[in-house]
Amino acid sequence: MTYINPFIADIASLKDNVRRNLFEEAKAHGYLIKTKEGEPYLIQNTDFHAGLLDLTNPEAVIWMKQIIKDEMLAVGSSGWMADFGEALPFDAVLYSGESPTTYHNHYPEAWAKLNREILAETERPDLVFFTRSGYTRSPEFTTLMWLGDQLVSWDKYDGIKTAVTGLLSSGLSGFSINHSDIGGYTTINNPIKDYHRSKELFLRWTELAAFNAVFRTHEGNRPEENHQFDTDSETLQHFGKFARIYAALFDYRKGLFKEAEANGWPVVRSLFFEYPEDPNTYNIDWQEFMLGSEILVAPVLSEGETTKEVYFPKGKWVHIFTSKQYEAGEQGLRETVDAPIGQPAVFVRAENTDLLGALQEAITGKPKKTTPEK
C-alpha cells in the first residue's frame, strides 16, 4: 500500500535530487487554493508549509488523479491511505468562487470522490483506499474509513478505548466499514507526561483489531520509541496468531460487507443494534461490541487487566479459546471471564458451529475435530 494527501509541498528547497516539482506545477496552473492576494495559501503542517489542492478546480482534480495513476498504480500499488482532507482554511479563495466556510465540510467528500473515480477510470474495482476526514456523503465515495491518529495510550479520550467508541458511533452514522491503527499512532515526548506505545498496549490492540473490519498496523509518528509487531519473538507470534484469526473470518466479514452495502448496517455494532429490546445493552459503550450478529467481543482495554466482566445478551455463547458455554436468559447474564493476553473475551453463538470451528482451527493450527475424543 502507498500514501497520498492533498497537501503539496515545495520540496525543492529541502532536497537536491527532485525529479518532479509538483508544487511548481500546481502553482503555475492555478491548482492550489489561494490567499486573498492571489498567492498560494501555504498551510503549516508539522515542521513545514504546504499548499492545498483546490478541489473546486476540475483541472486540478484531473491532474491529481493522473499523479496517483502514474506514481502509485503504475508501480504496482493496490491500495493507499488518502490522508487529511480537513484543513481547508476559512479565509481561503477557491477557484469556483464558493465560500470556503460553506465548502469546508464538502472538501473531504470531494477528496474521497477524487480517489473513488480512479477505481472506475482504471477499471480496478479491487483497489482500496481509506480516508479519515468525512462529511455526509463520504460513505458514498470512500471504500474504507479509519479513525485517525489515536494516542498510544489506554485512555478513553484519545487512546485505545476510543478505537471502539469511534467504530460504534461512526457505524451508526453511516460509516459502516471502519478501523483503527493497531497500536495507535501519536507518540508524545513531554516532560510532564510521555506517551510511548508499550508492548502490552500493542498486544491488546492486536487482539481488538482481529475482530474489526480491517487488520492493519502503523509504526506511529516516532517508530523508534514504539513497540512494533516485530520487536520481539513473543510479539511476532502473538501478531501471527491474531492475523490467522482475522483471516479465518474472511467469509464471515465478506457477508457483513454485503450487509453494509445493501442496508447500511455497520460491521462493528453496539449491542443495542442487535438487541434493541434489552435495556441493559444501552449502558454499554467501549466495554463490548458485536462483530456482525454472531460474535460478541469484550476486549481488554485497560493496562494490567486479565479478567473481564462480560454482559451476555439472551442466547447461548461459546468462548472461542476455552469452549466454555454461557447461557443468558431474557434478563441477560453478567459473568467475570478470564482474559489473559492471548485469550481475549470473545464469544460465538453456540448454534454457529461452522464459525466457531473456523476460529478454533485458526487458534490451534489444527483442523476442527469431527468426532469426539475417546
Domains of the chain, CATH where assigned: 2-231 (3.20.20.80)
- Against a cut of 0.85, is the pTM above it? yes
Tell me which residue of 98, 109, 102 sits closest to 33, measured CA to CA: 98
Among residues 24, 37, 54, 83, which one is catalytic? Answer: 83
pLDDT for residue 372:
38
Alpha carbon 102 to chain centroid distance? 28
pLDDT for residue 192:
86
pLDDT for residue 65:
99
Mean pLDDT of 236-260: 98
Share of the chain above pLDDT 90, in %: 92
Condensed to tens digits (0 to 9), the pLDDT of residues 205-239 reads 999 999 999 999 999 999 999 999 999 999 999 99
Cα dihedral sign, 144-150-153-156 = negative
pLDDT for residue 182:
99
Q: Cell numbers at residue 60, please?
A: 486540478
- CA angle (257, 115, 129) in 5-degree steps: 45
Length of the chain: 374
Q: How far is CA 182 from CA 36, 56, 106, 208, in A?
A: 42, 35, 29, 8
Q: Is 251 a catalytic residue?
A: no
**Within 13 Å and on the Cβ side, how many CA atoms surround 50?**
19
Kindly report each contact of residues 65-71 with a partner whose C-beta sits within 8 Å and lies 24 or more positions away, as own/partner.
65/114, 65/117, 65/118, 65/121, 67/4, 67/22, 68/4, 68/115, 68/118, 69/118, 69/121, 69/122
Helix 58-71 to helix 107-121 angle (10° resolution) is 50
Tell me which residue of 152, 139, 82, 368 sits closest to 257, measured CA to CA: 139
Among residues 86, 155, 219, 259, which one is catalytic? Answer: 86
Predicted confidence band of residue 371 (pLDDT cuts 50, 70, 90)? very low
Cell 493497531, located at residue: 182
Q: Is the pLDDT of residue 369 over 60?
A: no
Q: Cell numbers at residue 149, please?
A: 491518529
Average pLDDT, the chain: 96
CA gap 32, 50 in Å, rounded:
10
Lowest mean pLDDT among 47-51, 70-74, 324-328: 47-51
Condensed to tens digits (0 to 9), the pLDDT of residues 275-328 reads 999 999 999 999 999 999 999 999 999 999 999 999 999 999 999 999 999 999
Condensed to tens digits (0 to 9), the pLDDT of residues 170-203 reads 999 999 999 999 999 999 998 888 899 999 999 9
Q: Is the pLDDT of residue 58 over 90?
A: yes
pLDDT for residue 323:
98
pLDDT for residue 374:
36
Asked if 356 contacts 318 with a C-beta cutoff of 8 angstroms, the reply is yes
Q: Is 338 a catalytic residue?
A: no
Among residues 71, 149, 285, 361, which one is catalytic? Answer: 149
CA gap 11, 280 in Å, rounded:
56
